[in-house]
Amino acid sequence: MLALRALMKGRIDDVIEGVGTVGALDHEELYAEGDRLYWAGAADRTLPLLERAANAGHVDSMFRLGRLHYDAGRKEPALRWFQSAAERGHVGAMIDLAALIESDDRDVAMAWTLKAVKEGHDLTAEYNYGVFLEEDGRLEEAERYYRSAAEVNFPATRNRLGCLLWNTDRGDQAERWFRRALDDLADSCDGPGDDDYEANTAIMCNLAGLLAETGRSDEALALYRQAAERGDLGAAEQASRFTS
């Protein structure tokens, strides 16, 4: 097994150095090694592997290349590779392509997001499409997509659904979704800077606002203080109003 891995590494190194050929390696092998290097943070070694596989039509490599270029701030090649992968049915590429082009062509971004929903039944796509619909004032449709993702277990959607329900005078339902969203994230927050940590703090503030609005000041204050301890300045301001 070790000898086989050493042989494969030698063939991969040849490809990286430009003396090997894609035909000498299976495209899945190129992608697998490129993907491993991607997660190891070795972008300089990842790119040539993925480019060779992608240029030969490997769709997952196209998507990973899009991510690499996007993470490095290279919008044009990211856009090109996301587009290539999306056109070949890669749902993740559809979602990322939509996010990348939204500011320039919102209608096309929305169309790609809907395509991702229909082809992949992806929770992120459902959430994103719900946001598009809510921004367009199509609240009933937005709620339907939010609920679809929220029922499966998607904290961001549960929070967004809670906000929509709260804003449409359904506070009891909103409270349930806010609490479920907090429960979802309770054990998955690593600390400041972590996306889940920041999301959890925002949900605390939303639930606190709803509780304050419905006369449950003590619980609202406790949540605002908890969010303030996490560095949320708005929460600290709200907490000070309760004690002034």
Q: Which domains does the chain have, with CATH numbers?
A: 49-105 (no CATH), 153-237 (1.25.40.10)
The answer to whether 81 touches 63, Cβ cutoff 8 Å, is yes
* Size of the chain in residues: 244
Residue 114, Cβ neighbours under 10 Å: how many? 19
* Full-model pTM: 0.81
Cβ-Cβ contacts under 8 Å for 206 (sequence gap 6 or more):
159, 162, 163, 166, 178
Per-residue pLDDT 10s for the chain (244 aa) are: 333 333 334 444 444 444 344 444 578 888 888 888 888 888 788 888 899 899 989 999 999 999 999 999 999 999 999 999 999 999 999 999 999 999 999 999 999 999 999 998 889 999 999 999 999 999 999 999 999 999 987 888 999 999 999 999 999 999 999 999 988 876 655 555 556 677 888 899 999 999 999 999 999 999 999 999 988 899 999 999 887 6
Output the six-digit token pair for 97.
């392509």
Burial class (CB in 10 A: 0-12, 13-18, 19+), 176: middle
